[in-house]
Amino acid sequence: MKIRISDIPPKGLKIEERLEFSEVDFQEVGLQATQEVEIAAVAEKLDNDISIKGEYRVKFRAICYRCCEEFDYNLDKPFKFEYKVDSNKEQDLKLIITEDILLSLPSKILCKDDCKGLCAICAQNLNIDHCKHKKE
């Protein structure tokens, strides 16, 4: 969806969108969107700015940084984007959201905060079972 200034009425423009992301969109961060991203937002003209404010909801297939298991990673998040009125450029909602998602991701995605990871010796998933290699 492209947003142009001329599309925004004085009382604001309501945006309800579902954006489809392909397999490669988040490949570089090891994620795959498994559903359309739902976006609910309002675009408004302020004095010198356009503001787009709302939230999005996205579901990823992710691989845990510690235990290497696949899991569902959900991101429900408010976002806010502002740009100058004088730019006549269209704003692509998909690019805005993609950027916000990338900025919101933790550098290491874990299946849970206290994921125990894999044993460095036998690669046993320590969330599931113990092994005989005790950590100091």
Residues 79 and 91: beta-carbon distance below 8 Å: no
Q: Considering the rule CB under 5 A, would residue 43 count as an interface residue with Zn ion? A: no
Residues in region 48-67 near Zn ion by CB under 5 A: 64, 66-67
Closer CB to Zn ion, residue 10 or residue 106?
106
**Based on CB atoms, which residue is closest to Zn ion, 85 or 131?**
131
119 binds Zn ion per the rule CB under 5 A: yes
Among the listed residues 122, 128, 134, 135, the single contact to Zn ion using CB under 5 A: 122
DSSP H or E segment with residue 71: strand 70-84
Instruction: State yes or no: residue 39 binds Zn ion (CB under 5 A).
Output: no
The reply to whether 128 sits near Zn ion by the rule CB under 5 A is no
3-state secondary structure of 96: helix
Q: Give how many residues touch Zn ion by CB under 5 A.
A: 11
Q: Are strands 70-84 and 37-45 parallel, antiparallel or unpaired?
A: unpaired
85 Cβ neighbours under 8 A, 6+ residues apart: 5, 45, 47, 48, 49, 50
